[in-house]
A and B are shown apart, each in its own frame.
Chain A
Amino acid sequence: MPSRHTAASALALAAALLFTPAVPLAQAKAEPVKIGIVGPMAFIQGEDAWNGASLAADELNAAGGIQVGAAKRPIQLVKVDTNEIMNIADAANALERAITRDKIDFAVGGFRSEAALAMQEVAVDNKKIFVVTGASLDKMSDNVVKDYERYKYWFRILPPRSSDLVKASYAMLGAITAQVKAELGVPVVKVAVLAEKAAWTEGFVKAAQANIPKMGMELVGVFQPSATATDVGPDLTAIQATGAHLVFTAVSGPMGVALGRQAGEMRLPAIVFGINVEAQKEGFWKATGGKANHVSTLNFYADVESTPKTMPFVEAFRKKFGRLPTYTAASYDAVKILATAATAAGSLDGDKVVPFLEKTDTVGTSSRITFDKGHDVTFGPGNTVPLGVQWQDGALVAFFPNGWQGITFKGVKPFVVPPQMKKK
C-alpha cells in the first residue's frame, strides 16, 4: 500500500501536471479578435485589403496577439467578399452577414464609394467600428460630422476624402504644367477633363471647372464616359481635336486600362495625369500591352520612402505576394491601429474603442495617421501626402512630392513629358 506521503506526492504531481499546461491552454482557448476584411475578393482591391491585413495579423499573432484586458487574444481575419464591383447591393448584405453570423468585432476595407456608403450604415446600425481603406466619398466623413453619435464608429485611413484627393491632384497638376510650360514653351496649357460618370468624380469635375481657369490654364472640354466603359477611343480622338496638352483624369474602373492603352496606341500628344486606379497597379503595364508609357496617376505606394515604414512594408508585401501593394493594402495599418486602440480600451466594444481610435497618432506605411473630426485621415504636409507616379518604360516611378511645400520623398525621380508632345 502506498504511504500517505507517497499518495500526497502523487496527488501533487498530478496537480502539477494538470496545472502546468494551464497557461498555454488558456491562451489556446482565448477567444480570437475577429476582424472582417471587406472587399471584392475576386478583384485586386479586395485581394490587397486581405493581403495587407494578413501581413499585420501575422505580425501581431507572432507577438502573441492583442492584449485586451487581462487576456492576450489572437487575431482571426474573416474574409468578407462584398462582390461590390459586380453588384453594389451585395456589399451591405455581406457585411450584415459578417456581423450577425460570423460575429466580427471590427470591419476593415471597402472599395467602391457607393458600396462603402451602404456598408457604413450597416456598421453603425450594429455599432461596429468600420475602418475604410479604399473608398474616398466625402459624404461618409460628412456623416460623422453631422451626426457624430450615430456615425462615430466609422473611420478612414486611405485614400483621403475625394475633396482632399482633388487638392493633391491640383498640387501635382501645378507642378506638371509648370514643367510643360518650361519644356515646350507653351504660354497657356490646355486641359481636357476625362472623368468617369460616378458619385466620387462629381466633386472632381466641379473643382476642375472652377479651378483650372483660375490656375491660368484653359479648360477645353469635360468628357464623361460611363464608369464601366472599356473604350475611350472616340473620347480621346475628340480630346486630341481640342489640342489639349493635358488630359486630367478621374477613373477607377476598366476605363483606366483602355485609357492607358488607347492613348499610347494613338500616340496622343498630351500628358495623361490624374487619378487612375488601374494605373496604380503593377499589372497595368501588361494589361495595356505595354502601351501606357508616361501615363501618370496619384498613388499611395511606390518604391519611395513616404515614411520610414513604407519600404519595409512594400518589400515584405512584394516578397510574399510578388507585387507592389495597391492602396487598399492600407488594411495593414488599419489592423495595427485597431489593435492598439483595443488594447488601450481593454475592450472590443465599439463605444469603448472609438475614443482611443480617435486619439491615434502613429506613423503608418504611407503616411502619419491621425484623424480629423470627420474621422478621416488628416490630409496635408506632415500628415497624408499622396504620391504622383508615372509609368516610365514599364516601371512605376514616383515623381511627386519633389519639393512641394518643402517635402521631397527619398526616391522620387523627375516627371517625363511624353516625347510625342515635343513634335506637336
Chain B
Amino acid sequence: MLHSILVTGLVNGAIYALLALGFSLVFGVARIVNIAYAGLYMLASYAVYLLLQVVGLPAPLAVALAVAAVVVLGLAVYRVVIEPVREHESAVLISTIALTLVFQELVLAAFGGHFLGNPVWVDGITSVLGVTVTHQQVLSLLVSAAALGLLWLLLTRTRLGVAIRATANDREVANLMGMNVRRVEMWSAALSAALAGLAGAVVAPLTVIDPLMWQGPLVNILAIVVVGGLGSLRGSLLAAFLIGYVEAATVFLLPGGSYLKGAVALTIMVAVLLLRPEGLFGVAFEEER
C-alpha cells in the first residue's frame, strides 16, 4: 500500500503543481486572486478537444494553439476585467468568479453538458514499484516537470525573471528602481495563463471534460496556494505534492471515504490558516508591504 500511495501521490502532486503554480505566480507578482485562472484551465481543455476531435489537428499543434489562445484570452481578462479594479481585492475576486461562471455558461451553450474526453497521446502502461501507471500519466508528469523546470529557469536566469521576482517581493520598490511594473504584471499574467492552458491540455486526456471541470481543481489550487503560502512558488510546489499525497493516502487508507479527499485538503488548509496564517512558506503580506 505504501508503494501505491507514493506513486499515486507523485502523479497527483505533479499535476496539482502545474495547476497551482500559475495561480501562485500571478498572486505573488500582482497580489491578485484570479479565479478566472480555473476557467482558463477549463477553456484550454475544451480548445484541445475542439482542435483535436472536431478540427482534426495533430495533438502537439492542437495543444500549442490551445495554449496560445488561452494566453491571449488571459491577457485580455487581465487588461479588461482585472486591471481596472485591481486595487480592490474583493472586486477582483467577485469579477473573476463572475467571469468564470460566464465561461462556464458559454461552454455549456456551445458544447452542451455532455461529458467529453480526449484520446491519450501515448498508450500503454508501466509498473512502478508494482503500481500500474499509464504512459499518459508518465507523460503528464514529465510535461509538468519540464514546465516547472523552464519556469524556474526563467525566474532565476533571465532579466524578466528577476523583474518578476523583484515585483513579487516589493512592487513599490521595484517601481522605484525603474522597472515597468505594469509590463511585468502583464508578463506574469501571460505566464500564468500559459500554465493554466498547459495544465488544461495535459490533464484533458486524464480527466473528463465538462463545464464544471474547473470547480474541483479550483478547490485544490486554493488549498495548495494557502498551505504553501500565498505567492510562494516554492511553497506551492511543495504543497501540491503534500495535497497529492494526502489525497492518495485518503483513498488508500479510507476507501469508503474517498469522497472526502477534497474535504481533507480543505481541512489542512484551514488548519494551516489557523496555525500559520501566512502558510508554510509565505510571508506576512501586510508586514511585507
Contacts and interface: CB of A to CB of B under 8 A. Distances in A.
B112 A43 contact: yes
Contacts of B109: 42
Nearest to A44: B114
A63 to B, nearest CB: 32
Contacts of A222: 255-256
Contacts of A408: none
A276 to B, nearest CB: 12
Interface stretch (A180-188, A253-261, A364-372): A253-261
A327 B133 CA distance: 35
Nearest to A223: B255
Interface in B91-146: 108-109, 112-120, 123, 125, 131-134, 136-137
A256 B208 CA distance: 9
A49 to B, nearest CB: 13
Interface residues of A, number: 45
Contacts of A227: 259
B132 A230 contact: no
Contacts, number: 119
Interface stretch (B21-29, B181-189, B245-253, B281-289): B245-253
Contact of B117 (A86, A233, A237, A289): A289
A224 interface: yes
B243 to A, nearest CB: 13
A86 B210 CA distance: 11
A418 to B, nearest CB: 14
B4 A231 contact: no
B113 A224 contact: no
A290 B118 CA distance: 10
Contacts of B8: 233-234, 237
Interface residues of B, number: 47
Interface in B1-51: 1, 4, 7-8, 11-12
Contacts of B136: 265
A241 B129 CA distance: 12
Contact of A234 (B118, B205, B212, B247): B247
A48 to B, nearest CB: 12
Given A221-B255, A286-B117, 5 more contacts: A42-B112, A228-B212, A234-B258, A235-B255, A278-B115
17 contacts: A43-B112, A85-B113, A197-B259, A222-B256, A223-B251, A224-B255, A226-B262, A231-B206, A233-B11, A238-B255, A241-B1, A258-B208, A261-B117, A265-B125, A265-B134, A278-B115, A287-B117
